[in-house]
Amino acid sequence: MAMPFFVPGDDPGTDFVELLRRTGHEPFGTELPGTIDAGHATTVLAVRCEGGVVVAGDRRATSGHLISHRDMQKVFPADRHSAVAIAGAAGPAVQMVRIFQLQLEYYEKIEGKPLSLEGKANQLSEMLRGNLPMAMQGMAVVPIFAGYDTGRETGRLYQFDVTGGRYEEQEYATSGSGSLHAGTVIKLGYRNGMTSDEALALAVRALWHAADEDSATGGPDPLRGIFPILSVITEDGFHQLSDEESGDVFAGLSDELSGGGSGS
Amino acid sequence: MSMPGMYVSPEQVMQDRADYARKGIARGRSLVALEYSDGVALVAENASATLRKVSEIYDRIAFGGVGRYNEFDQLRIAGVRHAELKGFQYSRENVDARSLANQYAQMLGQIFTHEMKPLEVEIVVAEIGHGDTGSELYRIQYDGTVVDEQNFSCIGGDAESVLERLREGFDSGLDRDGAIRLAVGALAGADRELVADELEVAVLEAAIGRRCFQRLDDSAVGAILS
C-alpha cells in the first residue's frame, strides 16, 4: 500500500470519506436493482440529564419473525465525548458507525483538536445522505447522536431521518420500531435537571415498556445475564455500564413494578 | 539544448543536496525520543504552543519531526492517512511503526534523488511495545536512511552533543518523570535551563486505553521539572 500523498490544492483535507474514495474504497453502497425490506426493528434512546446525556439501546436483532442475535450492540462510543445509537439495517448501520468513528478520530489527528459536537452531528448527517441510495432500497439507517459539548459544558442530542435531516432535541430522542412506546414513557417521566441515575432509571423503564409492546425489541435477559446497553456521557467522557451495573438498574425497575406500578 | 562546460558529477550533486538539507535541519532545535519503563517519551524544544513537532499517528504510534515545518507536517499527515487506511482495510493490529518507517524512507529517498530540492527534515517514528515485545524507535533522515534506534534517539541541529548527554544519563529502569527530566537536561546542556513553555512533551503509554498518545501540558511538565 503506497503512502497517500497529495499536492496542495488537490488534498482531501480532514474528510476521511473522501480519502477513502480517492484511494479506491467506496464507503457506502451504491444503487442496485431490487429492494430488500430490512425494517428498523430496535429501540434506542437518549435522555438529557444534569451535566450530560444517557444513551441506551436494546440488544435484539431480528430477521423477519426470527431472532438472529440476542447480544447485538447498537450503542457505540463515537469518540471520547459522544455516542451513536443505531436503528435500521444492521450491515449498513454498523459500517456507518465504523466510518463515523474513524472520521472523528482522523479529523482530530489531522487538525490537532477534535471537531465540535455540532460538527460531529453534521458529519453523521452527511454520511446518512451518502447512504440514501441504500435507504431507498430498504436498507435505511436511522441513528441518534448524543454527547457532551465541551465548549458549552452541557449534554446535547440529535435525532436524524433517512435523508440526513438533523434535528436537535432538548430533552430526549428515540429511534426504531419501539420508539413510540419508549418515547411516551420518557415524555411522561422526564424532568429538567434529572441526575444521570434518574435518567438511567427512566431509560430502562422506557426500554422495558418498548420490549413489552414491540416484538422486535429485546428486554432484559437475566437468565443469560444479557441486559440492554446503558451508557452515560459527561465531562469525564463516555462510560458504558457493565452487565452487573445494568442488572442493578433493572432490579430497581423490577422492585418498582412489583410494588404495584404501571407495568402490568 | 546542450550546455557545454556545465557538467556536474553525480557525487557532487548528491553532496550538494545533502549539505543543503543538513544546513536546513541544523538551524532548528532538537527533539529527543526515549524509552522508559512503561512507555516512550517524546520531548522537543519548541517555543510555539500550537505548531507541533510531536504528534499522534495511530493507537500505539507517535511521530516527531524537526526542520522545515510545512515539510514534516506534510509527512505527518501522510503517515496518519497511511495508518488509518491500513487499519480500515485490514485491522488496527496490523498498523505498525516498522512499515510506516519504511514508507517514509521510500518517500524521502525518492524526493532526495529525483526532486530539485531535498526535504529539509529529520523524523522519528516511535511505537510502544505489546506485552513482551519492546518499544521501537526509528529515525529517518532527509535522504531516506532509516536507523533502528536502541533506547533513545535525537534529531535536529545539536543531535550529537544531546546524544552524548543521553548516553551518560540513560538507565533502562527510568520512569516517566525521570525520562522526561533526562531528555530536558540533555536538550538544554550544562549552560542553560529549559522551562515548560519552551518545551513540547508527549508520551506513549499503554495504561491510558486504546489511544496511547498523550500530551503533557505546561503545568504537568512544570511539575515534573521542579
Q: Where are the domains of chain B?
A: 16-225
CA distance A144 to chain B (A): 24
- CA distances to A225, A245, B169, B183, B216 from B221, rounded to whole Å, are 45, 38, 19, 12, 6
Q: Are B23 and B6 in contact (CB under 8 A)?
A: no
The domain spans of chain A are 44-256
Q: Are B125 and B58 in contact (CB under 8 A)?
A: no
Q: What distance in Å separates the CA atoms of residue B42 and residue B123, rounded to the nearest whole number?
A: 12
Task: Report the Cα B54 to chain-centroid distance in Å.
Answer: 7
CB of B82 within 8 Å of any CB in chain A? yes
Burial class (CB in 10 A: 0-12, 13-18, 19+), B160: exposed
**Is the per-residue pLDDT at B185 higher than 60?**
yes
pLDDT at B3: 61
Angle ∠(A50,A53,A55) on CA atoms, nearest 5:
150
In three-state secondary structure terms, B111 is helix
In chain B, which residues have their Cβ closer than 8 Å to the Cβ of A2?
103
Q: At what angle do helices B218-225 and B176-188 cross, to 10 degrees?
A: 90
Q: What is the DSSP string of B154-210?
A: EESTTHHHHHHHHHHH--TT--HHHHHHHHHHHHH-SS----GGGEEEEEEEGGG-S
State whether B89 and A25 contact (CB < 8 Å): yes
The x, y and z cell numbers of residue A140, run together, are: 435505511
In chain B, which residues have their Cβ closer than 8 Å to the Cβ of A25?
85, 88-89
pLDDT at A169: 97
CA distance A228 to chain B (A): 24
**Is the per-residue pLDDT at B131 higher than 90?**
no
Amino acid at B144: G
Percent pLDDT > 70 in chain B is: 98
Pairing of strands A229-234, A237-240: antiparallel
CB of B86 within 8 Å of any CB in chain A? yes
CA distance A258 to chain B (A): 41
pTM of structure: 0.85
Listed in sequence order, the DSSP H helices in chain A are: 16-22, 90-111, 117-130, 132-136, 179-189, 196-213, 243-258
Q: What distance in Å separates the CA atoms of residue A159 and residue B179, rounded to the nearest whole number?
A: 48
The x, y and z cell numbers of residue A158, run together, are: 440529535
Percent pLDDT > 90 in chain B is: 85
Q: What distance in Å separates the CA atoms of residue A240 and residue A186, rounded to the nearest whole number?
A: 20
- Residue whose C-alpha cell reads 519492546 in the numeric block: B134
CB of B94 within 8 Å of any CB in chain A? no
Spell out a b/e string for B49-81, using b for 16 or more CB atoms within 10 Å of the CB, else e: eeebbbbbbbbbbbbbbbbbeebbbbbbbbbbb
State whether B85 and A109 contact (CB < 8 Å): no
End-to-end CA distance of chain B: 66
The x, y and z cell numbers of residue B133, run together, are: 515485545
**Is the per-residue pLDDT at B116 higher than 60?**
yes
Pairing of strands B146-149, B39-45: unpaired
State whether A102 and B84 contact (CB < 8 Å): yes
pLDDT digits (tens, 9 = 90+) for B198-225: 999 999 998 778 999 999 999 999 999 9
State whether B107 and A3 contact (CB < 8 Å): yes
What class, spelled out in words, does domain B16-225 have in CATH? Answer: alpha beta
State whether B89 and A1 contact (CB < 8 Å): yes
Architecture of the A44-256 domain: 4-Layer Sandwich (3.60)
HSE, side-chain direction, 13 A CA sphere, residue B219 = 0
CB-nearest partner of A3 from B55, B57, B78:
B78
pLDDT at A264: 42
CB of A3 within 8 Å of any CB in chain B? yes
pLDDT < 70 regions, chain A: 31, 36-39, 260-264
Phi then psi dihedrals of residue B75, to 5 deg: -65, -40
Catalytic positions of A, please? 42
In three-state secondary structure terms, A189 is helix
CB-nearest partner of A102 from B57, B88, B104:
B88
Amino acid at B30: S
- CA distances to B53, B104, B118, B216 from A4, rounded to whole Å, are 21, 11, 19, 30
pLDDT digits (tens, 9 = 90+) for B26-48: 988 999 999 999 999 999 999 89
Residue pairs between chains A and B whose CB atoms are closer than 8 Å = 46
Interface test with chain A among B59, B71, B85, B91, by most A beta carbons within 10 Å: B85
